[in-house]
Amino acid sequence: MQPIGYIESDFPDKFGIPRQPGLASAAHAELILASPYDEPLAVRGLEAFSHLWLTFVFHHSPERWTPLVRPPRLGGNTKVGVFASRSTHRPNRLGLSLVELLEVDTRQGVRLVLGGCDLVSGTPVLDIKPYLPWVEARPEARAGYAPEAPPQLAVRFAPAAEATLNERDDGDSLRALITQVLAQDPRPAYRQGVEERIYGVRLRDVDVRFQVENPALAGRPRMHVTQIVSEN
């Protein structure tokens, strides 16, 4: 199989990417179709659909697999079968993502503007299919060990981080993106609670430094953005 296009997104690295699509609505991405698939005729009628299924390759994952994996939703320590998970360590490294279609741009080739995308920049996409809610939305379905969305953590910004955001033209959307990404706690699943370590997650053209703290009047940890460093 040949990729039909490649993703350009707000996520230059794997670390920090939401573990499911749609959890970070502020995340911007575009799917640029490659030749010979960048033919406007190939996407005629696509603008009538609000959401798309993307079949893609986990190209940053090693070409190996194991029969048992540790899902983050189970704390990163409990093992389940690889086919009972959405782990990237799969026999064929194929992924499936449901994304919002915001725009179909055919002025130069074909460029699809996407919302809620959970794919790293450079991801090869193998296929696109329109989402049909009347057949594919099944609210009565059982969701096993992931019955609902994970809890969200509070996020606060240090004055220095706020100042950096205020100086940027995309400050508001970047603030929303940082908040949505960190609220899901991008740390490895086995790390729970408060720790002194300062992490860094790359989003767009910045390195976001953050630390996990415990507010005095709440039992749940809180994300503290200490610094936003431009990579330019």
Is 205's pLDDT higher than 90?
yes
94 and 178, same domain (yes or no): no
32 and 101, same domain (yes or no): yes
Domain end among 83, 103, 136? 136
21 and 118, same domain (yes or no): yes
Q: Is residue 147 part of a domain?
A: no
Contacts of 36 (CB under 8 A, 6+ apart): none
Q: Is residue 144 part of a domain?
A: no
Instruction: Tell me what the pLDDT averaged over the chain comes to.
Output: 92
The pTM assigned to this predicted structure is 0.89
CATH number for the domain harbouring residue 173: 3.30.2310
Give CA angle at 29 (25, 32), nearest 5°.
150
33 and 91, same domain (yes or no): yes
Contacts of 190 (CB under 8 A, 6+ apart): 75, 76, 77
Range of the domain at 210: 154-230
Query: For the segment 107-165, what is each residue's pLDDT rounded down to a tens digit?
Result: 999 999 999 999 999 999 999 999 999 999 999 999 998 888 888 899 999 999 999 99
112 and 174, same domain (yes or no): no
Which pLDDT value is given to residue 217?
Answer: 53
Q: Burial-class residue 107 by CB neighbours within 10 Å (0-12, 13-18, 19+).
A: exposed
CATH number for the domain harbouring residue 77: 2.40.30.70
Query: For the segment 53-89, what is each residue's pLDDT rounded down to a tens digit?
Result: 999 999 988 788 889 998 888 888 899 999 999 888 8
Domain end among 136, 162, 195? 136
178 and 125, same domain (yes or no): no
Q: Is residue 11 part of a domain?
A: yes
117 and 217, same domain (yes or no): no
Residue 88 — left, alpha, or beta (φ > 0 → left; ψ -120 to 50 → alpha)? alpha
16 and 131, same domain (yes or no): yes
Q: Please report which helix (H) or strand (E) contains residue 162, including its range.
A: helix 159-166
226 and 158, same domain (yes or no): yes
Residues in the chain: 232
Among residues 116, 175, 156, 218, the alpha carbon closest in space to that of 206 is found at 175
Q: How many domains does the chain have?
A: 2
